[in-house]
């Protein structure tokens, strides 16, 4: 698959693909200036994009991808992926709890501010 086809298929920019290549996350075949992405690259890019969506760092993703070829039927890769995923899920849940708390506080402040404004408008009308 050409770089253009990869960009269209995965909705990424050529710069993104070159960046992932520079970080050794993708290894396209080079024909002169042309990059040809293999089925393996397409699979890796899917995992990279999914990992980024879930908030994994590029270093986490690189390490997980490097565990693929250990020869243990990806057991080590799966175990490590589950560890990182559980940690990330815990962090996301904490972020959600923090956000829910901040939303509640902001709701209260808006209500208090609206009540204060209404009171001041009544006083000035009287």
**pLDDT at site 36:** 95
**pLDDT at site 70:** 86
46 and 91 in a single domain? The answer is no
**pLDDT at site 69:** 83
User: What CATH code is carried by the domain that includes residue 4?
Assistant: 1.10.1660.10
The pTM of this model reads: 0.76
Structure tokens belonging to residue 84? 């990182």
**pLDDT at site 68:** 87
**pLDDT at site 55:** 93
Q: Give CB contacts under 8 A, 24+ apart, made by 81-86.
A: 84/56, 84/60, 85/54
**pLDDT at site 26:** 95
How many independent structural domains does the chain possess? 2
26 Cβ neighbours under 8 A, 6+ residues apart: 17, 20, 37, 41, 44, 45, 48
Full residue range of the structural domain in which residue 3 is found: 1-53
Cβ atoms of 36 and 42 within 8 Å: the answer is: no
105 and 81 in a single domain? The answer is yes
73 and 21 in a single domain? The answer is no
Angle 22-30-27 (CA atoms, 0-180°, nearest 5)? 40
110 and 61 in a single domain? The answer is yes
**pLDDT at site 33:** 87
Residues in the chain with pLDDT < 50? none
61 and 117 in a single domain? The answer is yes
Structure tokens belonging to residue 80? 């490590």
| Lookup result for tokens 């899920």 | 89
Encode pLDDT of 72-94 as tens digits. 988 999 999 999 999 999 999 99
């Amino acid at each position: 698959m050409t770089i253009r086809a990869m960009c269209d298929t995965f909705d990424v920019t050529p710069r993104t693909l070159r960046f992932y290549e520079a970080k050794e996350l993708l290894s396209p075949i080079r024909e002169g200036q042309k990059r040809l992405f293999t089925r393996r690259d397409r699979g890796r890019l899917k995992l990279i994009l999914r990992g980024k969506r879930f908030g994994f760092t590029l270093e986490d993703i690189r390490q997980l991808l490097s565990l693929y070829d250990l020869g243990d039927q990806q057991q080590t890769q799966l175990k490590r992926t589950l560890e990182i995923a559980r940690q990330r899920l815990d962090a996301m849940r904490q972020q959600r709890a923090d956000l829910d708390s901040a939303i509640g506080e902001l709701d209260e402040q808006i209500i208090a501010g609206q009540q204060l404004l209404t009171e001041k408008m009544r006083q000035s009308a009287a």
